[in-house]
Amino acid sequence: MTTAPPRAEPRTPQLRAVKGMNDILPDEIARWQHLEQLFAETARCYGFREVRTPYVEPTGLFVRTIGEATDVVEKEMYSFTHHDESLTLRPEATAGAARAYVEHRIHTREPVTKWYCTGPMFRAERPQRGRYRQFSQIDCEVFGDPGPGCDAELIDMLVGLFARLKIPDVRVLVNSIGGAEARARYRDGLVAFLEPRRAELSTDSQRRLATNPLRILDSKDERDKLIVAEAPGLETYLSEEDRTHFDGLLRALTALGVPFTVDSRLVRGLDYYTRTLFEIKGASDKLGAGDTLVGGGRYDGMIEELGGPSVPAVGFAAGIERLLIASEPEETAPAVDAYVAPLGGSAFEAALTLGRDLRREGIVTEVDTRGGSLKSQLRRANALGCRMVLILGDSEIAAGIVQLKDLAAHAQDATPRSDVVRIVLDRLKARSR
């Protein structure tokens, strides 16, 4: 009688992150923190204050502000219904900031409001390098200033930030799409021009012809590019006020010494923009065709659309992942300053106390609680990039000393326990200078 082989237990499938939603591991986080810190410092120098809005908002907020016929609303939003309420993971930051401005009646507190934020956004689009389904943005919004000097300052701020990030080949593109009336006239003129050529357009552009014809100007399809190259320019539809505003922007940028190019074909994929539009491109050798670093512009009608007063507004957003690809990596400091290495069970409590005392002085400290050999602890300290190792054993505790091993100087001293924290702090300060 033969015995059947034991049945293999089914393997639990390995769980992975959702496609296009990426882990940021400790080895990478220093670059993120550096960029976010530079952005926050720069924004604060221009008078911006930080705001934090929810990641989840009512779906209607984005339908009303971004536009029902946009790709973001039609195809890319992560929306769901909970307790009969339609909710959406925020695909961008501006609508949430505007909603907060209206809800909390900020216009009654101050004539001009300047906010900045950082955080994750969510769009269900095809992941590619620098463009993901969960992505992080830096964002600035100004409420209450009609510009155009305000618009120019935002652009100048970004050019300065990108210089600090060492992003090469930065290029500023600006345009004006006018107010609501000018845009409506241009939309009609563009449709009249494109309708006889409908059959020659790409499938996407044929659909957009009825829903969002301005987006055809931004099409990447070569057939569409050839056709729109002959389309009428938006500048011929601008009102006198629109032209005056745009001329003021160009003069302000010139005064600030910001090189720019007027691109009459520049449009944005969201319906809320009015008048000023801008994009900043750079690092095309790293980013290829997708070298747009930041996009922004005016949205003077949004606050009123959300039930608030008539308040002008302007802002921008930039993807952090794309900026990290474009920027030059900074040298990162070691993760740990001091490593406490206890030798023997009796040194364990003394090591914990020493670690606490070092940390209270702001010294980044790792205490080895595994109980390994000195050789293994030194190996771990080197791997962490530690500058100093503090060795404690029975003889050191009895003598009231600590063996202070300076890995950078290749030196070791017996240091009084009462002085060791001060000495470590002094050496770290001297080395940073």
pTM: 0.85
Q: What is the per-residue pLDDT across 396-428, written as a single tens digit (0 to 9) for each?
A: 999 999 999 998 888 999 999 999 999 999 998
Report residue 332's pLDDT band, with 50, 70 and 90 as the boundaries.
Answer: low
Please determine, for residue 345, whether its predicted confidence score (pLDDT) is greater than 80.
no
- Across the chain, what does the average pLDDT equal? 90
pLDDT at 267: 78
In contact, 184 and 214? CB cutoff 8 Å: no
pLDDT at 288: 85
Question: Which of 311, 245, 295, 231 has the alpha carbon at shortest distance from 275?
Answer: 245
HSE value, Cβ hemisphere, 13 Å, CA-based, for 418: 2
Terminal-residue alpha carbon distance, the chain: 82
Q: Give Cα separations from 295 to 58, 92, 242 (angstroms).
A: 24, 12, 20
Q: Which residues touch 215 (CB under 8 Å, ≥6 apart)? A: 70, 71, 208, 267, 269
Please determine, for residue 181, whether its predicted confidence score (pLDDT) is greater than 90.
no
Distance CA 74, CA 244 (A): 35
pLDDT at 6: 67
Dump the DSSP string for 77-112. -EEEEETTEEEEE-S-SHHHHHHHHHHTTGGGT-S-
Question: What is the signed CA dihedral for 300, 257, 173, 245, rounded to 10 degrees?
Answer: 30
Please determine, for residue 1, whether its predicted confidence score (pLDDT) is greater than 60.
no
Q: Which residues touch 227 (CB under 8 Å, ≥6 apart)? A: 194, 197, 200, 201
Q: What is the per-residue pLDDT across 220-243, written as a single tens digit (0 to 9) for each?
A: 788 888 888 888 888 888 999 999
Q: Give Cα separations from 29 to 39, 189, 431 (angstroms).
A: 15, 49, 24
Distance CA 228, CA 70 (A): 19
Percent of the chain with pLDDT over 70: 96
User: What is the rounded average pLDDT of the residues 342-365?
Assistant: 92
- Exposed/middle/buried for 192, CB within 10 Å: 0-12, 13-18, 19+? exposed
Joined together, the tokens standing for residue 393 give 């054993």
Joined together, the tokens standing for residue 139 give 């964002």
Q: What is the per-residue pLDDT across 205-225, written as a single tens digit (0 to 9) for each?
A: 888 887 778 878 877 788 888
Please determine, for residue 80, whether its predicted confidence score (pLDDT) is greater than 60.
yes
